[in-house]
Amino acid sequence: MSFILAFLLKNKLGLKNGVNKLFSKDIWLHPSSRLDIKLLLFNGLLKIVIVSLWVNLIPETTILFLKGIRFILPEITPFKTGAAIYFYTIMSFTIDDASRFLTHYFLHRFKFLWRFHRVHHSALVMTPLTLHRSHPIESLIMFFRNIVTHAATTALFIYCYRSHISAFEILGVNALGMAFNFALSNLRHSHVPISFGKLEGFFLSPLQHQIHHSILPREHHKNFGICFAFWDKLFKTWKPSEGEILEFGLKEESSMSFKKTLISPFRN
Whether residue 221 has pLDDT greater than 80: yes
Range of the domain at 94: 31-73+80-267
Question: What would the mean pLDDT of 2-15 be, rounded to a whole number?
Answer: 50
Number of H helices, E strands in the chain: 11, 0
pLDDT tens-digit map of 160-214 = 776 555 554 555 455 556 666 665 667 788 877 888 888 899 999 989 999 999 9
Per-residue burial over 178-203, b = 16 or more CB atoms within 10 Å of its CB, e = otherwise: eeebeebbbbbbbbbbbbbeeebeee
pLDDT score of 224 more than 60: yes
**19 in any annotated domain:** no
Asked if the structure places residue 113 within a domain, the reply is: yes
On whether residue 176 sits in a domain, the answer given is: yes
What's the confidence (pLDDT) of residue 174? 57
Per-chain mean pLDDT for the chain: 81
Distance CA 53, CA 48 (A): 10
On whether residue 6 sits in a domain, the answer given is no
Secondary structure (3-state) at 228:
strand
pLDDT digits (tens, 9 = 90+) for 101-124: 999 999 999 999 999 999 999 999
Task: Count the domains in the chain.
Answer: 1
Residue 24 falls inside a structural domain? no
Residue 50 φ/ψ region, left for φ over 0, alpha for ψ in the -120 to 50 degree band, beta for the rest = alpha
**Could you give the CA distance from residue 20 to residue 191 in angstroms, rounded to a whole number?**
11
> What is the Cα–Cα distance from 266 to 268, expressed in whole angstroms?
6
User: Poorest-confidence range of 36-40, 84-88, 149-153?
Assistant: 84-88
DSSP state of 79: P
How far are the Cα atoms of 9, 98, 113, 232 from residue 141, in angstroms, in the given order?
A: 38, 15, 10, 21
Question: pLDDT > 70: what percent of the chain?
Answer: 76
Do the domain assignments include residue 197?
Answer: yes
Residue 14 lies in a domain: no
In this prediction, residue 168 carries a pLDDT of 46
List Cβ neighbours of 50 (8 Å cut-off, separation of 6 or more).
140, 143
pLDDT tops 70 at residue 64: yes
Full-model pTM: 0.83
Q: Can you give the pLDDT at residue 2?
A: 40
Q: What is the pLDDT of residue 9?
A: 47
Closest among 161, 173, 153 to 89, alpha carbons compared: 173
Q: Is residue 18 part of a domain?
A: no
Report, as an integer, the average pLDDT of 6-17.
Answer: 53
The string of pLDDT tens digits covering residues 143-153 is: 889 889 988 88
238/13: higher pLDDT: 238
